[in-house]
Structure 1
Amino acid sequence: MRKTVTYYLALVSPWAYLGSQRFTDLVTRYDAQVQLRPIDLSEVFPKSGGLPLAKRAPARQAYRLQELERWREECGLPLTLHPRHFPSPEQTAAHMVIAADMAGANALGLAHAMLRAVWAEERNIDDEDTLRAIADEQGLDGTNLLAQAKEPEIAERRSAYTAQALEDGVFGVPSYLIDGELFWGQDRLDFVEKRLRG
């Protein structure tokens, strides 16, 4: 039976970026269906005991940088530890990904491109011209997606995804839900693969 993975992410998460291509490769290899769910961490953290980066203790912030360096090397991916446009509002970017997903376009590829833009290319995903260009580079109609991203239905859908994430026990990203079992973090992709393998 074909597996379904509910994939919760935020488009400014370095951890989602580090796991993004590997996750895409896994779901392709195992022919899994993906329910792509860009969520609002500013809603998730207060309700799940998390803190935004700036409010974390200095020791936690320092350790995060060490871990990013380790995982950057482990994954062999370009990653800027202090990107020019982080933190950055991601609402419009998330809405574009949702709009692409609703249209049956390659939303997973667009999400990866948004993540790469922040962490490897130092681009501003809070800038509409940049967002339009990123979508166009993925073979999508950036102008159309940007217009759709401003529709109230899209905002409502992201809010619903965020509420569902909390119901599913999500407290951070990336998180992967398979048959009711939650896996948090790109460092759990080995377990995701085992689950997909059955």
Structure 2
Amino acid sequence: MAHIDYYFATLSPYTYLAGTRFEAIAAKHGASVSYKPLDVVALFGRTGGTPPKDRHPNRVQYRAQELVRQAKKLDMPFNLKPAHWPTNAAPSSYAIIAAQAAGGGDLGALVHAVLRAVWAEEKDIAQDDVIKACLSEAGFDPSLADSGLLSGAETYARNLEEAVDKGVFGAPFYIVDGDQRFWGQDKLDDLDMHLSGDL
């Protein structure tokens, strides 16, 4: 059975556009998943990337068109300029880390609820009430938003270091069995084919 390390950022529009397709692919192939939220801006700085605010206008304009096109293609609600972006991604990431440790809910649904809050619902995922609502929606105890903060912070920082060591440079990023790397929501079909043994 394959294992997938899933590196992502709770502020990433491309992670949002992955929707729940990744979870469906993992379930189809019986793959286990470790969810690894990280600070994608810090990752850019470590791996030669440029944060969106510092990119050349040509890249900014293309990104704006491409995000809207991909959202339409996937039939997903999407706001190119959400009211609460960027915001502090750490609290939502800590909650996901705590939920993964606690179990009992649907982790993929939690990740998607947090991302949907940013990119479709005009909510601030740095706010405690927003995080608790996402936890509840995904079947987790909302008090997880207040627990394990030190452990969450340590894991969040460790995920970044691990990502750099494993060749990650963006989000979403999927690594199968510690070796095969797939970057971006537009590579999910390739991930599916790889898990099927066709690629």
Smaller-chain TM-score bracket = over 0.9
| Stretches of structure 2 lacking an aligned partner (at least 5 in a row) | none
> Whole-Å Cα distance in 2 between the matches of residues 40 and 55 of structure 1?
17
Query: Once the 2 structures are TM-superposed, how far is the Cα of residue 57 of structure 1 from its aligned partner?
Result: 0.7
SS of the residue corresponding to residue 5 of structure 1 reads: strand
TM-score for the superposition, normalised by structure 1: 0.95
> Whole-Å Cα distance in 2 between the matches of residues 73 and 42 of structure 1?
26
> Whole-Å Cα distance in 2 between the matches of residues 42 and 18 of structure 1?
18
Preserved CA contact (<8 Å) 2:20 2:108 = no
Query: Once the 2 structures are TM-superposed, how far is the Cα of residue 42 of structure 1 from its aligned partner?
Result: 2.9
Residue matched to 2:182:
183
Residue matched to 2:17:
18
Query: Once the 2 structures are TM-superposed, how far is the Cα of residue 149 of structure 1 from its aligned partner?
Result: 4.5
Preserved CA contact (<8 Å) 1:98 1:107 = no
Query: Once the 2 structures are TM-superposed, how far is the Cα of residue 80 of structure 1 from its aligned partner?
Result: 0.8
> Whole-Å Cα distance in 1 between the matches of residues 103 and 196 of structure 2?
26
Residue matched to 1:126:
126
Residue matched to 1:63:
62
| Stretches of structure 1 lacking an aligned partner (at least 5 in a row) | none
Query: Once the 2 structures are TM-superposed, how far is the Cα of residue 67 of structure 1 from its aligned partner?
Result: 0.4
Superposed CA RMSD in Å reads: 1.1
Runs of 4+ in 1 over 3 A off after TM superposition: none
Residue matched to 1:139:
139
Preserved CA contact (<8 Å) 1:135 1:141 = yes
Query: Once the 2 structures are TM-superposed, how far is the Cα of residue 45 of structure 1 from its aligned partner?
Result: 1.1
Q: Could you list the per-position Cα deviations for residues 69-104 of structure 1 after superposition, in whole angstroms to 9, with x for gaps in the alignment?
A: 110111111111111111111100000000000112
> Whole-Å Cα distance in 1 between the matches of residues 144 and 139 of structure 2?
12
SS of the residue corresponding to residue 20 of structure 1 reads: coil
1:158 aligns with 2:156: yes
> Whole-Å Cα distance in 1 between the matches of residues 148 and 185 of structure 2?
27
> Whole-Å Cα distance in 1 between the matches of residues 91 and 63 of structure 2?
27
User: Share of identical aligned residues, percent?
Assistant: 37
TM-score for the superposition, normalised by structure 2: 0.94
Preserved CA contact (<8 Å) 1:8 1:36 = yes
SS of the residue corresponding to residue 18 of structure 2 reads: helix
Aligned AA for 2:44?
F
SS of the residue corresponding to residue 33 of structure 2 reads: strand
Matched length: 195
Preserved CA contact (<8 Å) 1:92 1:149 = no
Aligned AA for 1:30?
H
> Whole-Å Cα distance in 2 between the matches of residues 17 and 24 of structure 1?
13
Q: Could you list the per-position Cα deviations for residues 97-146 of structure 1 after superposition, in whole angstroms to 9, with x for gaps in the alignment?
A: 0000011232222111101111111111011111112212222211x211
> Whole-Å Cα distance in 2 between the matches of residues 189 and 61 of structure 1?
24
